[in-house]
Structure 1
Amino acid sequence: MNTGEAVNAPAPAARRERGELFGPRFELFADVLSLGLATAVACLPLVTVPAALSTACALLRRRRLHEEPCTAGRYAAALRARAWRGDLAAGGVLLALAALFVADAVLAAAGLPGAGLFGLFLAVVGAVAAVAGLRACAAPTSAHGWRSALRTGAVRAAGDLPGSALVLLALATAVVCAWAMPPLLFLVPGPLAVALTAVELRVDGTRHGAARR
């Protein structure tokens, strides 16, 4: 056999075990759907949104690094194990800021003098705050304390602009999907958590690669 042909020959496809119906990609897809539904249910009280999204990101991180499955049972167990005092405080602050943002948006839409410039400023501030908050939810430290997680999210939002753009794009996609098809609202938290986790793992991988050099 020619050596060049051996080098250029395509790698054999991964073989499934006997009795295995679906491959690992379908298993990931099923995990994301299950995780998205569980996260959406956990977010229903609204004050639990930071804890719910942070738990989803933590499970996806463990799946990527340690190949642990992301089942609804594991999600519920991880959610119960959190220190809820800080999580509820973070959720309360989030609701207060969201109410303030909505009130300012209503004032900007009322046609007051300078409403256009104020609306643009409000959109920029809202986008920056959303990216920093989402990156804080994806930070591993969010399970232990939100102050350090928020600092990490703010630093990464400012220091990793491509990643922040990806986070903003993922959020916009989730909002558009939920707006166009409201039933998808119960599924979009899963893909959103996947996007957040992928962005953070990308940053961690880059730092580890630079450290090895």
Structure 2
Amino acid sequence: MSDVGTREPGEVFGPRMTLFADMLSVGLATALMSLPLVTVPAALSTACAVLRGAGEGQPATAGRYFAVFRRRLRGGDLTAGLVALAGALLVAADLALAGAGLPGASLFAVVAGAIGVAALVVGLRACARPESLSDWRSAVRAAARDAVRDVGGSGLVLLAVATAALCAWMLVPLAFLAPGPLALALTAVHVRQAVISKS
């Protein structure tokens, strides 16, 4: 990466603004690739990998995103997507049943919500791990360990999700850009946790 104070030829706003624009283009590409729903984990994992590569001097562009994503769609990625989709539908159904007034519904709703939030944090942290590019099982195991050991990072993941959801709720067209900042936040939490682990 170039020095923060210098601009390379063709840069209008400087490196920081270029990374911001690239992050938004990666977010739009992630939203497009997530439309089939079963591709959401692979799309978000690819976004994290592309944005992580920006720290290593690789371009964080939509073109690179599509090149990496094209190599991704294999059985493991689609299985991860099916598991994530089934989990989301199960939590939604459980919460709907809890709202139907069954006995013990309030306690059940709290337990189902807590399980859903924990699964969301582990799943998102797994998407940010480099292992998710080739082995979802090891990525999920490592993400579960990270979620327990780094509670602050898990809180940051939840704040990133809440911010993305709030932006999408406030202005619907932002929903197509929200995956970019979310992927950047997940990548930053992973890098932060790696630095803490080394020290």
TM-score range with shorter-chain normalisation?
Answer: over 0.9
Name the CA shift for 1:138/1:177 in 2 (closer, same or farther; >3 Å).
Answer: same
Q: Alpha-carbon deviations, 1:116-162, whole Å to 9, x = none? A: 11111111111111000000000100011111011011010111000
Matched residue, 2:99: 109
Q: State how far apart, in whole Å, the 2-side matches of 1:15 and 1:140 are.
A: 30
Q: Residues of 2 paired with 1:197 and 1:19: CA distance?
A: 27
Q: What's 2:123 paired with?
A: 133
Q: Is the 8 Å Cα contact of residues 83 and 144 (structure 1) preserved in structure 2?
A: no
Q: Structure 1's 31 and 19: CA in aligned 2 closer, same or farther, altered over 3 A? A: closer
DSSP 3-state at the match of 2:45:
helix
CA 1:176–1:20: 2 relative to 1, 3 Å: closer
Residues 1:36 and 2:65 aligned together: no
Say yes or no: does 1:173 pair with 2:163. yes
Provide the residue aligned with 1:100 in structure 2. Answer: 90
Is the Cα–Cα contact under 8 Å of residues 61 and 197 in structure 1 kept in the other structure?
yes
| Partner in structure 2 of residue 183 of structure 1 | 173
The 8 Å contact of residues 7 and 15 in structure 2, kept in 1 or not, is answered as no
Going from structure 1 to structure 2, the CA distance change for 1:42 and 1:113 (only over 3 Å counts) comes to same
Instruction: Name the CA shift for 1:35/1:20 in 2 (closer, same or farther; >3 Å).
Output: closer
2:43 matched residue in structure 1: 52
* Separation in structure 2 between the aligned mates of residue 110 and residue 174 of structure 1, nearest angstrom: 29
Report the AA paired with residue 27 of structure 2: G
Report the equivalent of 2:76.
86
Letter in 1 for 2:41: P
Distance in 2 between residues matched to 1:89 and 1:19, nearest whole Å: 42
- C-alpha deviations, 1:158-189, integer Å up to 9, x for none? 11000000001111111122122211110000
Q: Indicate yes or no: 2:151 matched with 1:161.
A: yes
Cα distance 1:203–1:57, how it changes in 2: closer, same or farther (>3 A)?
same
In structure 1, runs of 5+ residues without a counterpart are 1-12
* Structure 1 residue 108, shift from structure 2 partner: 1.0
State whether residues 157 and 185 of structure 2, in contact with CA within 8 Å, keep that contact through their aligned partners in structure 1.
Answer: yes
How far residue 15 of structure 1 moved from its aligned partner, in angstroms, is 3.9
User: Who is 1:70 aligned against?
Assistant: 60
**Letter of the 1:35 counterpart:** V
Is it true that 1:145 corresponds to 2:153 in the alignment?
no
- Structure 2 CA distance, aligned partners of 1:133 and 1:171? 12
Q: What is the root-mean-square deviation in Å for CA atoms of aligned residues?
A: 1.4
Identity score, percent:
58
Q: Cα offset for 1:115?
A: 1.3
If the length of structure 1 is used for normalisation, what is the TM-score? Answer: 0.88
2:6–2:14 CA contact under 8 A, matched in 1? no
- Taking the aligned partners of 1:84 and 1:207, their CA distance within structure 2 comes to 31
**Aligned partner letter, 2:126:** A
Aligned-partner SS, 1:44: coil
1:14 shift after superposition: 2.2
Distance verdict in 2 for CA 1:57–1:20, change over 3 Å? closer
Is the 1:57–1:196 Cα contact (8 Å) retained in structure 2?
yes
Q: Which runs of 5+ in 2 are unaligned?
A: none
Residue correspondences, number: 196
